[in-house]
Amino acid sequence: MAANISKITTGVMLAAGTLACVWVGAALTSALSAVGWSVSTLAGQYMTAIGMVKPLHTMVDYYTHIKGIEYLLCVAFFVAFPVFFKYVNKNPARKAEKPVKK
């Protein structure tokens, strides 16, 4: 009985996954067709639509955006550099010294 339920569940999940893949493929093909088969244009429109990329209209907007990215890079460096420095300069594990044979 449990084996039949497992097979049915597996079949339903496989069918749902197949339908989702077909739907995603159709949506992607339709979207690419609408923008003249340009993947970069489609990606740009998608990122603008979800708010990941904002259009920058003035030089001040652009400079503010670049300055924010620069600050994030500085913070990442200030965190990563001490960790890297400790990793590079750690003391090797002391091995037991072997007695010198005479």
Question: Tell me: the pLDDT tens digits for 45-66?
Answer: 999 889 888 888 899 988 998 9
Extents of the domains making up the chain = 56-88
Q: Label residue 32 exposed, middle or buried (CB < 10 Å: 0-12, 13-18, 19+).
A: middle
pLDDT, position 90: 84
Over 80: is that where the pLDDT of 39 sits? yes
pLDDT, position 102: 65
Over 60: is that where the pLDDT of 96 sits? no
